[in-house]
A and B are shown apart, each in its own frame.
Chain A
Amino acid sequence: MTYLAVAYLGMLVAIALWTWTVVQRSRRLDERLEALERADRGGTEATKKTDG
């Protein structure tokens, strides 16, 4: 029963880690994309002001 519990828990931890990695990667990408979009918007507004 012990090896069974170890095998079970090992797999549970493994899929938890895998899921955590996917969610974290997704969050980091979201943040990076938002930062890039903010920078782009900032650049466009600055250009508009200079033009005006």
Chain B
Amino acid sequence: MTFPQTMAKALLNLDDVRVRRGMNTVLDGCSLRIETGQTVVLAGVNGAGKTTLLEAAAGLLPVENGKIQHADVVVRDHEGRTKPSPLSVGLTLQKNGMMGSEVLEERLQCAMSMNGNNVDCGPFLNAFGLTHRANDLIAHLSQGQARKVAVLAGLLPAFASKVPALVILDEPDAGLDDASVEALGGWLNELRAMGHGLLIATHDERIMACATHRFEIGQEMKTHATPPEGVNAQQRPSKPVKRITPGAFGVRMHLRTLMWLNTNAIAGLLTLGILLSFGDFMGELNQMQRLGFVLAPVLAVALCGEPLVVATREERAADWWRGVCGRSPHASWLPLVIGLVFSLLSSTALSETLDATIVGAGSLLCFSVWHGVGWMQRSTQRLARPQAVFVGLLTPVLILPYSLFVSLLS
């Protein structure tokens, strides 16, 4: 499939961008424009800022100055405004951006589903020698195989897209064998011929040969040696599919790995167990106190927060999600169900009565606190060592709202 190219359309526009990382200003006054049918290769020594530029282009990094546009939409600007990209974005980060609990083919389908279409990924898997691994977990693959999956997850959304897509690849050739690099070069040429825009950081001459332009940070963009002529896009029929949202993906991961049981439910069960070990004390309490104890296990479940925040730090999976659809995976409606189950369990065990209002309130409490704590956890994701920050210290802020909630309910 190729797009009518009567007029070149800007897919990516970086305008006078300044980005700081740590104590250093990595990019300053950087401007870059990529149009449909262009492949721009970023060249430069290690530490020149290629990865920073790619991640800024994907909207992953805050900019201190200037703005970043995808098509006509400003996705990041220096005043901190962010918007999701209107384009289909194919993204391969330096890390693979995948959790070990994902299945290979499911991962590729998920990446393609972001723009509502998919293509048959069989030929791609075949070319990369991954067909026999299609139904395996990412965790079971070798490093090289996992890298191939990450590269395909960056390319396939563009192959499936019915409109020009933006493809951002950070050293896609790293760890790939010669045959795979050859195949990759062919696909890059094909995507360019289809009219997509590509931004690639690489040190490999074979990948550089696919470029229409070469960009060195701090210099003007140069037109590169003419890329291969006569490349024809193969016919790859795409068909519409349902979009996999970060919420749907999050629920799938929760159910597959049972991380909700390991992190949240166990805290609720322990709290309930401790309360039951006190014997029959509920009769001596007033209504508000009884309610407080019945809902305590539900609160304990939710206070543990969103286990996906920690799980998606693996290979920067959360960043990949933010890059392609603007949001990180989350448990979506799952806390409602878990809250409902725990409210039922707690009501039956502690007060021997079932009240639909209390069960419904418990479910809502679990949902709101779970996602509230998840928000607090995500607020530290930008840090160099997010795991070293004690987000739990902030949870006492929820005590007063919980007391008010119980009080209003009683």
Touch test A–B (CB under 8 Å): no
